[in-house]
Amino acid sequence: MARLGDKDVERLLTDASIVRHRGKIEATVNNARRALELVEEEGSLAAFVWRFEPDPGSRPERLTWDALLELAETPESRALAKELKRRGWRFVGPTTVYAFMQAMGLVNDHLHGCDAREPVERARAAFTAPASA
């Protein structure tokens, strides 16, 4: 993605299999370039992102639908979004960043009672976040 140029963006704008929004396509290319810079500066994307893992004590004791609705953005996702924007990333608001945090495993938002919750918790407990560069 980081190597795509203007011709590639034009081609992607005609690709019906993706969201054809010029701003989002250009932001994706830009963010891929910023990600490479971040890896160069920080050692890895994971080492950087895991610094924004929420304190377990700040999470709801029991995750329910109501509690989950309150977590669409958090102080940590706002801080990460702000830092990414400072580094030149685009289309990275706190809600989008929170979804990224879910995908990266920084938070386990599987509801209590969900079959996936316990395996994810075990994986998180076994994981050691990468050290910063």
The answer to whether residue 23 is domain-embedded is yes
Are the C-beta atoms of residues 25 and 17 closer than 8 Å to each other?
no
The per-residue pLDDT string of the chain (133 residues; one tens digit each, 9 = 90 and over) reads 999 999 999 999 999 999 999 999 999 999 999 999 999 999 999 999 999 999 988 999 899 999 888 898 999 999 999 999 999 999 999 999 999 999 988 999 999 999 999 999 899 888 888 876 5
The answer to whether residue 133 is domain-embedded is no
The answer to whether residue 16 is domain-embedded is yes
The answer to whether residue 131 is domain-embedded is no
DSSP conformational letter for 129:
P
Q: What domain range is 49 assigned to?
A: 6-126
Domain count, the chain: 1
The domain spanning residue 106 has which CATH number? Answer: 1.10.340.30
The answer to whether residue 1 is domain-embedded is no
pLDDT number for residue 132: 61
pLDDT number for residue 127: 84
Query: Of 60, 94, 90, which is closest to residue 76 (Cα–Cα)?
Result: 94
59 Cβ contact partners less than 8 Å away, ≥ 6 residues apart: 107
The answer to whether residue 105 is domain-embedded is yes
Helix (H) or strand (E) holding 118: helix 117-126
pLDDT number for residue 130: 83
The answer to whether residue 94 is domain-embedded is yes
The answer to whether residue 132 is domain-embedded is no
Which stretches does DSSP call E strand in the chain?
Answer: none
pLDDT number for residue 37: 97
